[in-house]
Amino acid sequence: MTTFHELPLEERLALVRLGTSHYSRQLSLIDNADFDEPTNLAGWTRSHVIAHVAYNAIAICNLIHWANTGEETPMYSSPGARNEEIAYGATLIPDALRNLHEHSVARLDVAWRDSSAESWSHEVLTAQGRTVPASETLWMRSREVWIHAVDLGAVASFGNIPTVILETLAAEITQKWAGQGVGEGLVLVDESSRTRYAAAPAAAGESETVISGSLAGIVRYAAGRGVEGVTVESGEVPEPPRWL
């Protein structure tokens, strides 16, 4: 299996730009009057999602500036700044949110376009405290636009997400569960390829909990977007551990 991270830089750029166009299309399908409708993210309306995705683009611009100039520029000014921005953005009128989205998308694309070949390998620090090469921002942004396009609740589904991104998400999410010591014995199985994505091994004397479904279905489940479309060998499908 080839992951997103193993693709050539130009292919990764193409996938994140495709995801951005897909997200923008979903946003265009939503009427202004429906921006305050709830989403499948607890406590968040569509306005919250739109504000978050826009401010995330600006935050990633900070990391690209850091990589290009060597000037330390964190994603957010403080640990609480991200949530404060989202809360503020959710109060903006729909047209202001649309403008914020368009501005942030254009700004980020220019930042990537103007980055030097060397800067992609320069290390930056994410909001979660991970030190990563600047090229990791392509994956960070891909996750945002492809998943949140579904969260907007227009017509997008996890089935619209490219296979390489779904496979990378399935591996990443289960690996994060294992690293956090959660999801013991939980295994996701892609029914079409029979690929298994396992979290931490089951405790001694305990059996695995195998969640089966299409690749899109198991990633939807793992990302905390519902249990529809997946099955478990016995009993009810358990709620997945938190991912991010």
In a domain, 30, yes or no: yes
pLDDT digit of tens for each residue in the chain (244 aa)? 789 999 999 999 999 999 999 999 999 999 999 999 999 999 999 999 999 999 999 999 999 999 999 999 999 998 799 999 999 999 999 999 999 999 999 999 999 999 999 999 999 999 989 999 999 999 999 999 999 999 999 999 999 999 999 999 999 999 999 999 999 999 999 999 999 999 988 888 888 999 999 999 999 999 999 998 899 988 899 999 998 8
Looking at 105, 122, 156, the residue that finishes a domain is 156
- Domain match, 115 and 228 both: no
- Domain match, 65 and 151 both: yes
Burial class of residue 174, CB neighbours in 10 A (0-12, 13-18, 19+): buried
Looking at 134, 156, 178, the residue that finishes a domain is 156
Instruction: Tell me how far apart the alpha carbons of residues 194 and 212 are, in angstroms, rounded to a whole number.
Output: 9
| 184: containing domain | 163-232
- Domain match, 184 and 145 both: no
- Domain match, 130 and 186 both: no
- Domain match, 184 and 109 both: no
- Domain match, 179 and 72 both: no
* pTM beyond cutoff 0.85: yes
- Domain match, 62 and 182 both: no
